[in-house]
Each structure stands twice: as structure tokens, then as C-alpha cells.
Chain A
């Protein structure tokens, strides 16, 4: 399944553009603030029904357009058959159409693996960033997970409000039951993901790393989650005293080890990048191996952060697995050793396509 064409209307700095893609690697070139990331965002948005940036959807309307609305249309090719997905968003509504017929957005048609510069920071950042990272990756594999997370945080904010303002214990207990129910499911997914992804990531990491380094990833819960409800009940008085939710999956962490040592404090830039790159590659391979599913890869400005060896490794895996990729770059020099005659170069200038060529032609 590949994206053959996109049509973007009034999305961010795009007015109306139609872009043909290759099923191999699409390099999206342009200076800063010309619309490279916006193009990736539009692809991500229509396939995931949300942006990868933490924004209000109203920010996606083209500022110069009086009508507050945008359209994104994808032409998909699957088994030589073409079909279209169309998204129309205005101030009040979001509509999906598949082959012209109105449908709810429910199942992801194409899974997208996204790699952005922020991802490279997760090893050293706080636990919140690592949880978000983990949750975002799991959402890609399991659409159900997005709702679990959404529900969990909705319940949590209700409970926190009660802890601060109303202190009605019976009602707090009701929220605890629901939090435990959602939390237990979320932990199952997180553990399942790490159990399946870690061995693949370990292999990849071992290949990239200079020395013979072994990567392990551990889930570090903030409490004994086997007795989820009991633990919440035990902490109730303390939570009322402190006016905040002290335990739950929103307090857990993920720890990365190299050769048995927690790398949060000592990892070099290179090691951090290798860890994240290994995780992303592990996801690609996991999807392919266990679901026989080919995701697309969206890579935003990450190439400037990777050295030749890591770039080569990533590109080789994309080519071996025939993964359709969209890679933004500020400078073509960054890929001069990786480029192939089947790849495409799409130059963007101020929300307009300047050039769209297959290199070998």
C-alpha cells in the first residue's frame, strides 16, 4: 500500500498543491520555514486523525485564507487498485471520505512511523517525555491504545480536580476503579510492546554500536500494578493530603541500559541517537514481521543529526523492506552518499512545489 499522490488545500502555508510521490524514498528539500514539515504533517494528519505536534487543530488553517477550512486528499495504490481518502476540516467539523463516500475515521488505513528530532532527546529528558514517546509508538501499532490513554488522562484530570477541590471520597473511589481498569490495560500494552520491540532493537543497536554494546529496556512502574486498585486505596489519604494523584501509569518510567548500566546520566550523543534509531527500526521490522504490514516512514529533519554510518543503516533497511519514505532535508549534501536513482526529490519553496523529479530520469 503506497501513497501515490497528495492534494493539499489551505493547510498551513499551502494554498493548493498536488504532489506525486514515488513508492521508494521521497526527499523533501527546502530552506527553513518553507513547508517541509507541513507536508509531513498533512500526511500524518490524514492518516492518524491528529497532528504529531501538540497544537489546536485551528492552527492548521491557512492564515491567508478567509474560510477557516482545509482539505487533504490522498490517492492510495493497493494491489494495483487506486482509491482516495479525503479529509475536510472546518471550524465545526471534520469529515472523512473514502472513494467519495462519507465514513467515520476509525481504523488506520496506513500506519505511519514518525521520526522527529525531539525523539532523539528522550534518553536524557524527564520520564514524561519517555512515556509520551512510548505511548506514541504503541498508538501506531494498536489504534485502541489511543483511546485508553485519552480516557485515562480524562479520568485523571477529573480525579485531580476532586483531590484539589471537593474531596468526596466515594466519588474519588469511583474514579480509582475506572483509572485502575484503564491503567491495567495500558500497562499490558506497554509491557507487550517493550517485550516484542526490545529484542529487535537490541540486534539493531548491536549492529550500529562501535563496540560490542548490549541494549536493554526496562519498564519501571511507580507502584505494584498487580494490585492496582488496592494500591490506589492505600494511597488515598496521602493523595488527599498532597492534593495530587501520586501513583498510576502516569508516573511510570522507561529505563535504557547499555551493558547493564542505566545510560540516562552517561550516554553520549551517538549512543542516544543509536538507541532511538534502533527503536524506530525495530518498529518497522516488527510491523513487517508480525503483521506482514508495510508502514510508511516520515522522517523530519533527522538526517542532519545522524552520521554516515547511521544514515546508511537506516536507508539500507528502508530499501531492503521496500518502505515508502518521506524524508525532509535542508541540504541535499546530507544524502549525497545515500541517494539512489529511483528516489525522488521534491523541492519546496514558500508552500509551493518548485521541482518534483525522479533522480535517474
Chain B
């Protein structure tokens, strides 16, 4: 049976391990790299190496950074009395894009799911508590995903924080902006009902 030369096979295999990449796409990517001109393969290789070498977790909030503290924690213009708790570094970016929130973040790196071996100890919960004990934080906003695991995590944190006399809020759940009510499923609708607001003038 004919196989590609080993270096090609190796790259195909490496690509095929990436999420969402099947064998066909992996092959296409490998050939693209092979045929590409000039510095691209070197750039790609360097970028892949550096991401592991240079990126670490922010010592304060757990977000990805290439320094000891991330740019948000270092900033002087952020509101240092509010922490928004998220599951994933990607969520920080999503929230930052809104330009609405000017407080700090705390990245848990997952959500509680005992069956999958993830309890509070596997998440950055101890680090969060340490930040709260300083007394500078007035509010934490729980922005974990709207899943069972996300809800469990928020509920657990809310209970944990309750003796500290810090305001705890959970982001709203309901109908997406621009969404038609008749397209929303019942769970979303009932959550939207529970979270309804009075309109006053």
C-alpha cells in the first residue's frame, strides 16, 4: 500500500488531532503548508511553539497572558471593585467586545461536573476566594454558561461567597436580542418570564 512520505504523514496526523478537522481536511492543510512559499511554514511552526512557551495564566485572574499579570488586571482604568466570573478565556474576549463592562474578570477554566472529575478543586475557585478576602471587591457577577454545569457552578460559588457580604449577581437568561418569541424554546421562554422587568417611565 502506498503511503505519503513520513514527514507529510506526520503533519497530516498532527492536523487531524485538532478539533473539527477530519482526515480529508488534515490532508488539504498539510499540502497547503507543503506548497506554501517563503516563510509561512517557519512562521506557523514558530507560532505553534511560542503559544506553549510564552502563554501562561494570569496570576490574579487566570486569563491567558504572556506576562505575570494580564492586561486587564494591570490596567488602571478598570473598576477594581467588581469581578465577572467566567468559565473560559474565550468568554472574556466575548464580554470585552461589548464594551459595556469595565470591571475585572476571573476565569475558572471549566464548570463543575463531578462525573467528569471536575469539582471546585479542579477550577480556579481557591484563587477567587483569595481575591475576595482582601475586602476590595464589592460585587461578583456570575457569567458562567447557561447550562446545567454552568448553573451548578454559579450556585455553588454564590453559596460559598454568601458569608463574605459581597453582592452576588447572575447574568440574565432569556430571549436573544433580535430573536422572535415564537422561535424560542420553552425553557428559554420560561427563563425569560422569570427574569421579566417592569417598564417604568
Contacts and interface: CB of A to CB of B under 8 A. Distances in A.
B120 A171 contact: yes
A144 B114 contact: no
B2 to A, nearest CB: 22
24 contacts: A106-B184, A106-B185, A107-B185, A143-B186, A144-B185, A144-B187, A147-B187, A154-B148, A155-B148, A155-B152, A158-B113, A168-B120, A170-B159, A170-B160, A171-B112, A171-B114, A171-B119, A171-B156, A174-B112, A174-B152, A174-B156, A174-B159, A177-B155, A178-B155
A106 B181 CA distance: 12
Nearest to A162: B114
Contacts of B186: 142-144, 147
Given A166-B119, A168-B119, A173 B159 contact: yes
Interface string A151-183: 100110110011001101011011101100000
How big is the A interface, by class?
Answer: 20 to 34
Contact of A144 (B112, B115, B148, B190): B190
A158 B187 contact: no
B63 to A, nearest CB: 25
Contact of B115 (A147, A161, A174, A178): A161
A170 B156 contact: yes
Interface in B146-186: 148, 151-152, 155-156, 159-160, 183-186
Interface string A227-262: 000000000000000000000000000000000000
Contacts of A155: 148, 152
A178 B152 contact: yes
Nearest to B153: A174
A157 B36 CA distance: 51
Interface string A126-159: 0000000000000000111001000100110110
Contact of A161 (B114, B159, B184, B187): B114
Give the secondary structure class of B's interface: helix
Nearest to A142: B186
A204 B156 CA distance: 49
Nearest to B184: A106
Contacts of B119: 166, 168, 171
A346 B186 CA distance: 37
A175 B185 CA distance: 24
Interface of A: 106-107, 142-144, 147, 151, 154-155, 157-158, 161-162, 165-166, 168, 170-171, 173-175, 177-178
Nearest to B113: A158
Contacts of A168: 119-120
Contacts of B183: 106
Contacts of B184: 106
Contacts of B151: 178
A221 to B, nearest CB: 23
A170 B186 CA distance: 31
Given A151-B148, A175-B152, A158 B190 contact: no
Contacts of A147: 185-187
A157 B160 CA distance: 23
- Chain A CB count within 10 A is highest, among B114, B159, B190, for B114
Contacts of B113: 158
- Chain A CB count within 10 A is highest, among B113, B155, B183, B184, for B155
A92 to B, nearest CB: 9
B116 to A, nearest CB: 9
B20 to A, nearest CB: 10
Given A158-B113, A168-B119, A178-B151, 20 more contacts: A106-B184, A107-B185, A142-B186, A144-B185, A147-B185, A151-B148, A158-B114, A161-B114, A166-B114, A166-B119, A170-B156, A170-B159, A170-B160, A171-B114, A174-B112, A174-B156, A174-B159, A177-B155, A178-B148, A178-B155
Contacts of A177: 155
Nearest to A172: B114
Query: Closest 7 A-B residue pairs measured CB to CB?
Result: A144-B186, A174-B156, A106-B185, A161-B114, A161-B115, A174-B155, A162-B114
A158 B152 contact: yes
A144 B120 CA distance: 30
Nearest to A148: B187
A158 B152 CA distance: 10
Contacts of A174: 112, 152, 155-156, 159
B156 A165 contact: no
A47 to B, nearest CB: 16
A175 B148 CA distance: 10
Nearest to B158: A174
A174 B185 CA distance: 26
A161 B160 CA distance: 21
Contacts of B120: 168, 171
